[in-house]
Amino acid sequence: MYAVTPPQRSDLGSNYGLRVYQTWKGSNIFCLQGRFIFGPDARSLGLTISLIVVPVIVFCIFVASKLMDDFSDTWGVSIVTVAVVFTIYDIILLMLTSGRDPGIIPRNSHPPEPEVIDGNSGTSQTPRLPRVKEVEVNGNIFKVKYCDTCMLYRPPRCSHCSICNNCVERFDHHCPWVGQCIAQRNYRFFFMFVFSTTLLCVYVLAFCCVYIRKIKESEDITIWKAMLKTPASIALIIYTFICMWFVGGLTGFHLYLISTNQTTYENFRYSYDRRSNPHNKGVVDNFKEIFCSAIPPSKNSFRAMVPREAAPMPSRSAVGGFMSPNMGRGNDEIEMGRKGVWAMAEHGDDKNGSNNERFHVNDDELGDIRTTTDDDEQSGSRPNIHPRHSSWEMSPEVMALASRRT
């Protein structure tokens, strides 16, 4: 694995020949020269894989192999085969969840131009970006917040993961068991991994019970004496029963989230009901959105070459006395926010409400968004935006939403 360390300021002008993953500013760990991206806690993958593989090995050696003598050749071999194939399938889903880009939004290379003046009348006025901007999607007002770290306005349902240090689209949660954020591009695989792990636990537990029953019937002894003859089966029954409560409960919880089109972050942080959740499209359409829709391509090309930069850009704080909209706020408020990311206008909490501009877009336009790179900006190919909005310099996603209606 390749642990990326942020480049020093003195190296900014000499990064020619490096790839994106080698100059990555997040806390991610890359493997196979940027082909796989993990979270900083990727070492937990070893523990997770062990918790799956070791019990299956014990099951195949001490239980399934013994059952081959009690069943016909075809049935006996199939017991072992199904366990092995199911385990491999489960590990593949785990790697698809952990080793891919969950939906990271590329951060801007410099902060936006400040527009709002925050201060008393006089010469001591300080330019300050508004902390919140509003975007309207299908009649629902979403509040997009500025991220100090990524220097962009986060799109709706996007949050900044403090562990990976990235803004992630449709952020669900950061799972330490898979060592990765669970978000837009890997949520489907995460749910399938949890669900298949539940089925694997049921499979192992069921055949352990069958093996104990076979011992009882063949030797004509009590069930307790039969259990004492196969301690491996007892250990597997206890282990899988405990795991079933964990992964089975997690499966049920995410089935509820999918049916109501919520994320774990939204469910714990906000109070949605059937009327107020603007993302809920109905149970059938909600499941189609997760399992039948195309996974959007990654907005990051981790193996792309980093272009040479002529010279480091001076920070905004040194030019014009720029102040971040979150300067002086606690770190948790900067990354996650104190209020809901969406609200109706009459319930808005932005103190700079007079400066909020609303963009009107359709819900089906949220999935078709092009990322504006620094090269696009230099070549003049960034989306056309009304001049009144140009100094906001929101994230490319929000800018693209606005450009469709202007």
Residues belonging to the active site: 175
Single-letter residue type at 327: M
The DSSP call for residue 40 is T
| CA quadruple 265, 271, 274, 276: dihedral, nearest 10 | -100
Strand partners, 158: none
Residues 398, 266, 103, CA angle at the centre, nearest 5°? 50
Residue 332 CA to residue 353 CA, distance in Å, equals 23
Residues 6 or more apart whose Cβ sits within 8 Å of residue 243: 51, 197, 201
Q: Which residues of 100-126 are buried (b: 16+ CB within 10 A; e: fewer)?
A: bbbbbbbbbeebbebbbebeeeeeeee
Kindly give the residue spans of alpha helices, DSSP state H, lying in 99-186: none
Nearest to residue 264, comparing CAs of 280, 248, 253?
253
Q: Which residues of 63-80 are buried (b: 16+ CB within 10 A; e: fewer)?
A: bbebbeeeeeeeebeebb
Residues 38, 41, 45, CA angle at the centre, nearest 5°? 75
Residue 384 tokens, joined: 């056309």
Strand partners, 159: 168
Residues 6 or more apart whose Cβ sits within 8 Å of residue 80: 60, 64, 65, 68
Residue 179, phi-psi category: left (phi > 0), alpha (psi -120 to 50), beta (remainder) = left
Cα atoms in the 13 Å half-sphere on the side-chain side of 75: 7
In this structure, is the dihedral angle defined by the CA atoms of residues 358, 359, 362 and 368, taken in order, positive or negative? negative
Phi first, then psi: what are they for 323, rounded to 5°? -125, 135
